[in-house]
Amino acid sequence: MNLYVSNLPYTMTDEELQGEFVVFGTVTSARLVKDRETGRSRGFGFVEMPVETEALTATNALNGKDVGGRPLRVIEARPKEERPPRNFGGGGGNRGFGGGGGKRDQREDWDRDKRS
């Protein structure tokens, strides 16, 4: 059973997350979701427990438990939703960025810092 765990302390590690659940049974994996750019925890993660009764016991025991000054929220994870592909590329309309400037001075010796 895959569990979604939220409201985690930002300082928590994957190992600490696993440690919260392993007392209730076998944990196949425990991973925090991290920000792509900073590598910092986003405050939620997923725990995989293969035995459903152990996962339900862990859910009931840990949901609302104070960890690092924050009450955990533990629920069964929903399957990842299919999303349409994102269009990052070319063409099609003015999206409000880019664009040119005004007229440029055509004199080759003109220096905009001197404003001559």
**Domain definitions of the chain by residue range:** 2-76
**Predicted confidence (pLDDT) per residue in 64-95, tens digit:** 999 999 999 999 998 878 878 887 765 555 55
Backbone angles phi, psi at 16, to 5 degrees: -65, -40
In this prediction the pTM is 0.69
The CATH homologous superfamily to which domain 2-76 belongs is RRM (RNA recognition motif) domain (3.30.70.330)
**Predicted confidence (pLDDT) per residue in 24-57, tens digit:** 999 999 999 999 999 899 999 999 999 999 999 9
**Spatial contact of 41 and 29, defined as CB atoms under 8 Å apart:** no
Q: How far is CA 71 from the centre of its chain?
A: 19
User: From residue 83, how far is each of 5, 34, 36, 80, 91 by CA, in Å?
Assistant: 22, 20, 19, 9, 22
